[in-house]
Amino acid sequence: MTNYFHITMTKQEIDAFSNLGLAHLGDCVYELLCRSFLCCQGEHTVKRLHKDAVSLVTAPTQARLVQKILPHLTEDEAAYYRRGKNAHSHAAPKSATKQEYAMATGLETLFGALYLNGQTDRLNELFQMMMEA
């Protein structure tokens, strides 16, 4: 039985995913990290948790935060980021520029690939870098 909380795929298996498929998964991974981060910050109302989570998962915020980790990415990680950033998406939210949306998609693609490779410690390390003031 596959344990979907602890997936470990090979690079070849991950590379078989579409760029936007990796981003789709990475979007969820990133949001789970954001929600966990906010809950661990202390007591908040559900309304406040939701508002803060929404603010962290917008493309402009992701684009700003991903810049903190770009210098720290390995060659393989940077390749996944570029792969997502250069993906051709036909839709972008009105609240973001095309560049912000591309950078956010790159981040999500990277997080999707790291998750599928079972690199949760690295995911956590990169996420903490992003959340540092």
pLDDT in tens, the chain (133 residues): 788 888 889 999 999 999 999 999 999 999 999 999 999 998 789 999 999 999 999 999 999 999 999 999 999 999 999 999 998 776 777 888 999 999 999 999 999 999 999 999 999 999 999 999 7
The alpha helices in 57-119, defined as continuous H runs, are 59-69, 75-85, 98-116
- The CA dihedral of 29, 34, 38, 44, to the nearest 10 degrees, is -90
Among this protein's residues, is 15 annotated catalytic? no
Catalytic residue among 27, 52, 76, 121: 27
What does pTM read for this prediction? 0.93
Helices 46-56 and 59-69 cross at an angle (nearest 10°) of 70
CATH superfamily, region 11-131: Ribonuclease III domain (1.10.1520.10)
